[in-house]
Chain A
Amino acid sequence: MTARLARQGLWLAPAVALLAALSIYPMLYLLRVSFTALDGGFTLDHFARLFQDRFFAAAAMNTAIYTVVALGLELVLGLALAVLVDSLGRGRAFFRTALLAPMLLPPVVVAVIWRLVYNPQFGVLNGTLRSMGVDTSALVWASGQSTALLSVILVDVWEWTPFMFLLLTAGLQALPAEPLEAARVDGATAWRVFRDIKLPLLKSTIFLAVLLRAMDLMRVFDQIFLITGGGPGIATETMSLYIYRTAFRFFNFGYAAAMSLAGLALAVFFARGLLRLITARAR
């Protein structure tokens, strides 16, 4: 039997080896560095600092807000669009393809686009508003202390709603057609068919979409880095950005490592809970 397992293992080995090399080594490194003080000795200071660091708390808060708000908006919009496009007779394929565009873009390009859009003086958003007579002096979007986080969230919603749309469309297509027809004959209006039949049957797809998106939202870095750099101040600094600042501005790799591990632990904890919810409900 072990000979068979060895042969079977050969199929998995190269992939697992590569993944392990590029993830286990960094993890071990992180563990070592997080316990290493700036002078090289062993210390628990980095971890202790986490509890008192208000920047870390702020970054965690920003990440939480970002994740929850973006996820909520993307789910509702994605579902609404999936149902809407699914109900169209002709041209479905066109709408599906066109709506995918934002999520295909390189984050760099997304950042360039939205900097062009959000720029308070020259951007097309304020420009269009001004041409309609709106006073835009207070609308500073990504440059404003109180509006920056929402502005980058909207960018995420613009970019990733198509992903939810795609996943939910796939889910809708996989629904068996006959129970839906039976509901129509039984007397259900389109709304009731959706509420009573489609939505419950979509549950597992929705959970999967939420899980995948939540994992990506918690790690977000590229767009925020390129649009606001974490600012103004720390208004849009999520955990990834704070870790980056700690590691590459202050060169405090130890603390950055400790933060990374803490952030990772939170993410894994959250994801496992969600995964358990999915597998339980799907049964």
Chain B
Amino acid sequence: MSLALEGITKRFGDFTAVDSVTLEARDGEFVVLLGPSGCGKSTLLRVAAGLEHADAGRVRIGGRDVTEMEPRDRDIAMVFQSYALYPHMSVAGNIAYPLRIRKRPAGEIAAEVRRTASTLGLADLLERRPRELSGGQRQRVALARAIIRRPKAFLMDEPLSNLDARLRVEMRFELRRLHHELKTVTLYVTHDQAEAMTLADRIAVIHNGRLVQFDTPANIYHRPANLFVAGFLGSPSMNFMEDGKVTLGVRPEDIEVSFDQRPGWRSGRVWVCEDLGNETLVRIAVGADQVTARMPGGVGAAFDAPVWFRFDEAKVHRFDQATGEKKR
């Protein structure tokens, strides 16, 4: 069961939120729509769900054209950023609702609810109300409600954004595991590039409503199509320097740093040094520019200490200064 978006365009008044985006998530694939706030990724997801109607383009699920169909007829499930649980129903009621609508027998519903709940560790919480649950628990109830009817596709709109940092990492593991077990095609929206890198089979980078690059995480990381993609993925982000008509880009981990004088290497002064324990980030001032480099943990350096560094030339990216596109 694939999920295809063909030539989707969506406008709100004069503002074009999505500009002719085409992409296909293959059967069982986990595709992440990645981009900064306001880039149109959520709108794209909502068009796929049927909550918005596109001004142009088609949506196909499993080959079938569902563009004119209501959300309820598309056999998809959605997980919202704020979980969208039904406040007046219990956890069990929330999870059961999709099956109740489809008029399944009560006994069958109860059994399914119990099964799904225990898969997500919610077995003890079935009688509680959403307002009595923590953020992570609500998140899992939303997931349970989505998976219980085994839809053709999952749509997830920044489901982890409202969780605190540690919980986010936890849930990332659980989502990955869940996807491995369910193997349902999934379209996942986020602005967090770490989530995209870890969860996606392929990443679709969206910028200003356009699809900029659609490839595996590895390819996007190592072979970004343009300046925007190069700068958006990777934390700390890629360093950029002007060199004539070309913008050079080099990632912090591709910079070799030494506090001993090295002839032929570039030089600068330590602007700030951050020891994170497992690695050290050194921000180097070079004239008016600054470059961030990665070093092993435990390195300490004084402010303004002199430092020498060089780039791994094989890993340097070149971008056209005018268009931002990758040069060969």
Contact = CB atoms under 8 A, between A and B. Distances in A.
Instruction: Pick from B70, B76, B86 the residue with the most CB of A within 10 Å.
Output: B86
Given A184-B51, A185-B78, A187-B102, A200 B72 contact: no
Contacts of A196: 86, 97
B88 A200 contact: yes
Given A184-B72, A186-B145, A192 B101 contact: yes
A188 B145 CA distance: 14
Given A178-B80, A201-B87, A185 B101 contact: no
Interface in B61-106: 70-72, 76-78, 80, 82-88, 97-98, 101-102
Contacts of A176: 84, 87
B4 interface: no
B72 A189 contact: yes
Contacts of A183: 86, 97
A186 to B, nearest CB: 4
Nearest to A175: B87
A179 interface: yes
A189 B102 CA distance: 11
Interface residues of B, number: 22
A179 B85 contact: yes
A207 to B, nearest CB: 14
Interface string A165-187: 00000000000101101111111
Interface in A17-35: none
A197 interface: yes
Contacts of B98: 186-187
A180 to B, nearest CB: 8
B84 A178 contact: yes
**What secondary structure prevails in chain B residues at the interface with A?**
loop
A181 B155 CA distance: 13
Interface in A48-94: none
B51 A188 contact: no
A139 B80 CA distance: 58
A200 B85 CA distance: 14
Contacts of A182: 78, 80, 84-86, 145
A197 B83 CA distance: 15
Given A192-B101, A196-B97, A185 B71 contact: yes
A187 B101 contact: yes
Contacts of B85: 179, 182
Nearest to A203: B88
B49 interface: yes
Instruction: Pick from A178, A182, A197 the residue with the most CB of B within 10 Å.
Output: A182
A179 B86 contact: yes
B188 to A, nearest CB: 15
A188 B98 CA distance: 8
A52 to B, nearest CB: 49
Interface string A97-141: 000000000000000000000000000000000000000000000
A185 B51 CA distance: 8
Contact of A181 (B76, B77, B84): B84
A178 B72 contact: no
Contacts of A187: 72, 98, 101-102
A149 to B, nearest CB: 38
B87 A186 contact: no
Nearest to A178: B84
A196 B85 CA distance: 13
Contacts of B84: 176, 178-179, 181-182
A149 B86 CA distance: 43
Given A179-B85, A179-B86, A201-B88, A185 B76 contact: yes
A184 B80 CA distance: 13
A176 B70 CA distance: 21
B97 A185 contact: no
Contacts of A192: 101
A181 B145 CA distance: 14
A201 B129 CA distance: 14
Contacts of A179: 84-87
Interface in B82-139: 82-88, 97-98, 101-102
Contacts of B72: 184-189
A188 B88 contact: no
A184 B51 CA distance: 8
Interface of B: 49-51, 70-72, 76-78, 80, 82-88, 97-98, 101-102, 145
Interface of A: 176, 178-179, 181-189, 192, 196-197, 200-201
Given A176-B84, A182-B78, A185-B51, 4 more contacts: A176-B87, A181-B84, A185-B78, A186-B98
10 contacts: A179-B84, A179-B87, A184-B71, A185-B76, A185-B78, A186-B77, A187-B101, A192-B101, A197-B86, A201-B88
The 10 closest A-B pairs by CB, nearest first: A178-B84, A182-B84, A187-B72, A187-B101, A186-B98, A185-B78, A200-B88, A185-B71, A184-B71, A179-B84
